[in-house]
Chain A
Amino acid sequence: MGHWTYTVILVGTFAAAAWLQALPGVHVLDRPRRLGAALLPGLLFLGWDILAARSRWWAFSAGDTFGAHLLGLPIEEIVFFLVVPVCAILGYEAVRVTLLRLRDR
């Protein structure tokens, strides 16, 4: 997949969770302000990521990313901090809503 590799992994991860939005009672992608604010703790991890890349604790393969960089990180690595938290929230909400429904039955 070459330069598309990391992008395909991100799209695949998002697709694995995005359908949960369609479940009755799951409201995540339609709550943009709450969702955006909930992503803020990810900045802490993004900061650590920037530090790790700058200190060469890790490195990203140039062959698996498109090559555009921001703050010393491939753009794909920054998008990671949007995709992963959104997927986690979708998964959590789907479970929470399902448990509430089972309890009320």
Chain B
Amino acid sequence: MIYTAGAIGAVLVALIVDRWVTRERLVSTAAFWIGYAIIFVFQLIMNGLLTGIPVVTYDSAVIWGPRVVFAPVEDLGFGFGLVLMVLTTWSWLGRRDD
């Protein structure tokens, strides 16, 4: 279940970067959560296609098992981690603009 551990790690690292490293604290803003809710729907569609067709197949030994729209539940963690870390960085870089 190394894929499971990786997904948990991705969420934790993204939260640490957002809250303490950059102090952007996007997870305390409405803009992030409304934006993420929209992104989440598209993530389910895109990842559902990739894993449902399937373009990508997983070794069942490295995943936990539960699936959401064809994709291993871990992908929700990786998606959240990637999106939060990118948005935190984008926001941090834009501080001078605002």
Q: Which of B42, B50, B85, B93 contacts A44 (CB 8 A)?
A: B85
Residues of chain B with a CB closer than 8 A to A87's CB: 39, 42
B30–A58 contact, CB under 8 A?
no
How many cross-chain pairs have Cβ atoms below 8 Å apart between A and B? 103
Let me know if A85 and B86 touch, CB within 8 A. yes
Count residues on chain B whose CB falls below 8 Å from chain A CBs: 38
Known A13-B42, A34-B93, A99-B31: A60·B3 in contact at CB below 8 Å: no
Residue of B nearest to A1 (CB): B53
Q: Once the chains are docked, how many angstroms separate the CA of A91 from the CA of B36?
A: 8
When A and B form their complex, which 8 residue pairs have the shortest distance between CB atoms, in order from nearest? A38-B90, A41-B85, A92-B35, A95-B35, A96-B31, A85-B86, A64-B55, A57-B62
Asked if B28 CB lies within 8 Å of chain A CBs, one says: no
A85-102 interface bits toward B, Cβ cutoff 8 Å, 1 = contact, 0 = none: 101110110111001000
A9 vs B46: C-alpha distance when bound (angstroms) = 7
DSSP majority for the B interface?
helix
Q: A34-B94, A61-B54, A87-B42 are in contact. Are A42 and B86 (CB under 8 A)?
A: yes
Q: Is A70 at the interface (CB under 8 A from chain B)?
A: no
Q: Which residue of A lies closest to B87 (CB)?
A: A92
Q: Using a CB–CB distance below 8 Å, which chain B residues touch chain A?
A: 2-3, 6, 10, 13, 17, 30-32, 34-36, 38-39, 42, 46, 49-50, 53-59, 62, 78, 81-83, 85-90, 93-94
**A53, closest chain B residue (CB):** B56
* Smallest beta-carbon distance B43→chain A, Å: 8
Give CA–CA (A97, B3) in the complex, Å: 36
Residue of B nearest to A60 (CB): B56
Known interface pairs A38-B93, A57-B58, A57-B62; A88-B86 also in contact (CB < 8 Å): yes
